[in-house]
């Protein structure tokens, strides 16, 4: 089955990105034909500095490869390296109802805040549909807040299929299971928007300091606490093995501990969990020629698939003689 997902290079990945999405991409590549792209065209709606976008795109490739994306199992490429996608976007936009785009979350939220929404943001869902349809994608792993985009994609493809005949594969969403369960340093869902993230990579000591500053409640040390209701425990559970999690849960219910003890355990467990990825990323940074070759190879395969799909669409709507 063809699986596709894109990651915006708008900043370094955090724990929420990994457990909410990336870890499952890595898992899906074991049994499916994975197409994973770095969505630099989408990032243009927020990043207006060329050097920053280039560096973020390279960092995203390094991060994904370090975390376990395997180029021999999955296709990794940069979105803008496949110009067929932007060509397909126009074909789709000619039949996309304005009302459909006006109902999309990102546009509605920005307008509700009284902010100016540019054409890029407004037509963003059509580019996303082209991203999916260009590769005959069958399954798209997304968070619950992104399901609407898959529904829009199916609607847009359905309009085209209805008018010009069966052309596109209609994808299905695979809702990611763990995205809402990764709390940030303030207890809310970990998100760059909330400025409460913990990075996957970076100086270990600095990350540990961030962990030690995680907000906790004011209950007394001796008081019993329900572990599943505590965000520190939820973070610890992401990294620790079954026996250690059980022991930590028992300590919570027993009471007689300080949150500093738990924070230290979270720091140690997370450092051990990502140790191999950090080492691999350091090695990849010394071999950027390999990284660029992976992206070139991925783009070559992606373009081959997308060219067939776009050719099919152009023939269907009369753009080829």
For tokens 């560096």, name the residue: 55
Q: What is the mean pLDDT of residues 32-48?
A: 95
Which tokens go with 24?
Answer: 């499952």
For tokens 């738990």, name the residue: 262
Q: What pLDDT, in 10s, does the model give residues 278-318?
A: 999 999 999 999 999 999 999 999 999 999 999 999 999 99
Pick the CATH number of 202-273 from 1.10.3720.10, 2.40.50.140, 3.40.640.10, 1.10.240.10: 1.10.240.10
Query: Exactly one of 111, 181, 192, 280 is catalytic; which is it?
Result: 192
Question: Residue 282, by phi and psi: left (phi above 0), alpha (psi -120 to 50) or beta?
Answer: alpha
Higher pLDDT, 134 or 12: 134
- Which residues, at least 6 apart from 192, have a Cβ–Cβ distance to it below 8 Å? 10, 11, 14
Pick the CATH number of 2-181+288-317 from 3.40.50.620, 3.40.50.10070, 3.40.50.300, 3.40.50.150: 3.40.50.620
What's the mean per-residue pLDDT of the chain?
93
Q: What span, in angstroms and rounded, lies between the C-alpha atoms of 117 and 295?
A: 32
- The verdict on whether 315 is a catalytic residue reads no
For tokens 């009471």, name the residue: 255
pLDDT bracket for residue 179 (50, 70, 90): very low
Query: Exactly one of 108, 111, 174, 189 is catalytic; which is it?
Result: 189
> In this structure, what are the phi and psi dihedrals at residue 47, rounded to the nearest 5 degrees?
-100, 125
Q: Where are the domains of the chain?
A: 2-181+288-317, 202-273
pLDDT bracket for residue 192 (50, 70, 90): confident
Q: Does this model's pTM top 0.95?
A: no
- The verdict on whether 192 is a catalytic residue reads yes
Q: Is the pLDDT of residue 178 over 60?
A: no
- The verdict on whether 263 is a catalytic residue reads no
- Which of 218, 210, 270 lies closest to 244, judged by CA? 270
């Amino acid at each position: 089955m063809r699986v596709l997902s894109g990651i915006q290079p708008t900043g370094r990945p955090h724990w929420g990105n990994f457990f909410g999405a990336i870890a499952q991409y890595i898992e899906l590549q074991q049994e499916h034909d994975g197409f994973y792209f770095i969505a630099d065209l989408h990032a243009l709606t927020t990043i207006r500095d060329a050097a920053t976008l280039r560096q973020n795109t390279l960092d995203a490739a390094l991060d994904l490869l370090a975390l376990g994306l395997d180029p021999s199992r999955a296709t990794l490429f940069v979105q803008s390296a496949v110009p067929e996608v932007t060509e397909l976007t126009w074909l789709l936009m000619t039949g996309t109802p304005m009302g459909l785009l006006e109902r999309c979350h990102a546009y509605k939220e920005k307008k509700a805040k009284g902010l100016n929404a540019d054409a890029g943001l407004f037509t963003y869902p059509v580019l996303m549909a082209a991203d999916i349809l260009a590769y005959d994608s069958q399954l798209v792993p997304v968070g619950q807040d992104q399901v609407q985009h898959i529904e829009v994609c199916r609607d847009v493809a359905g309009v085209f299929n209805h008018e010009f005949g069966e052309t596109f594969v209609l994808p299905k969403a695979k809702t990611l299971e763990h995205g809402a369960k990764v709390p940030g340093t303030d207890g809310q869902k970990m998100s760059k928007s909330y400025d409460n993230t913990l990075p996957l990579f970076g100086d270990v000591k600095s990350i540990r300091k961030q962990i030690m500053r995680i907000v906790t409640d004011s209950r007394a040390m001796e008081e019993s606490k329900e572990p599943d209701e505590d965000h520190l425990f939820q973070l610890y559970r992401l990294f620790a093995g079954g026996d250690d999690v059980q022991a930590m849960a028992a300590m919570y219910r027993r009471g007689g501990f300080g949150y500093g003890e738990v924070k230290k355990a979270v720091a140690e467990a997370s450092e051990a969990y990502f140790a191999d990825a950090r080492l691999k990323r350091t090695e990849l940074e010394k071999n950027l020629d390999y990284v660029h070759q992976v992206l070139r190879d991925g783009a070559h395969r992606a373009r081959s698939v997308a060219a067939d799909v776009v050719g099919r669409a152009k023939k269907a709507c009369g753009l080829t003689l």
